[in-house]
Amino acid sequence: MSLIDDAAAVRLNAYAPYSKFKVGAALKSSSGAVHVGCNVENVAYPEGTCAEAGALAAMIAAGDTGFVEIAVIADSPSPVPPCGGCRQKLAEFADAGARITMATTDGVTQEMAVADLLPGAFDAGHMESV
């Protein structure tokens, strides 16, 4: 089973009664374990959780601290990139060279380096004087 398959399977569990826009994410941690997440909406829209954030939370809860690959899937005409907040979250935990595959439920994919999602990302190096 591929990460896209894992993301597609968990996407079906998304809680999206307001937008009807279900998203699934699956990542492979540095240890090789697969962790999944789906979007969880809330009637107070800013309180929802993105699929990528859910997968990262599952990874951290399992004791892993980095990932090498992530797949994100949604029912959209073109592959959906992570939102700005998730780009920052992914940058925090991505191993060097980590890749992202963005996919549609119709099989269209786009791949890139996670580092390319957020050029100039704020990182731990910016906190060295604190």
Strands (E) across the chain are located at: 23-29, 34-38, 67-74, 94-104, 109-113
The amino acid sitting at 12 is L
Q: How far apart are CA 15 and CA 79, in angstroms?
A: 20
- Is 111 an annotated catalytic residue? no
For the stretch 72-101, pLDDT in tens is: 999 999 999 999 999 999 999 999 999 999
- Residues with Cβ < 8 Å from 81, sequence gap 6 or more? 72, 87, 102, 117
pLDDT at site 130 = 67
For the stretch 58-70, pLDDT in tens is: 999 999 999 999 9
Could you tell me which residues are annotated as the binding site for substrate? 39-45
Could you tell me which residues are annotated as the binding site? 39-45, 50, 83, 86
- Are the CB atoms for 26 and 10 separated by under 8 Å? yes
Q: What is the CATH T-level fold of the domain 3-127, as seen in this structure?
A: Cytidine Deaminase; domain 2 (3.40.140)
What are the extents of the domains in the chain?
A: 3-127
pTM of the entire structure?
A: 0.94
pLDDT at site 125 = 87
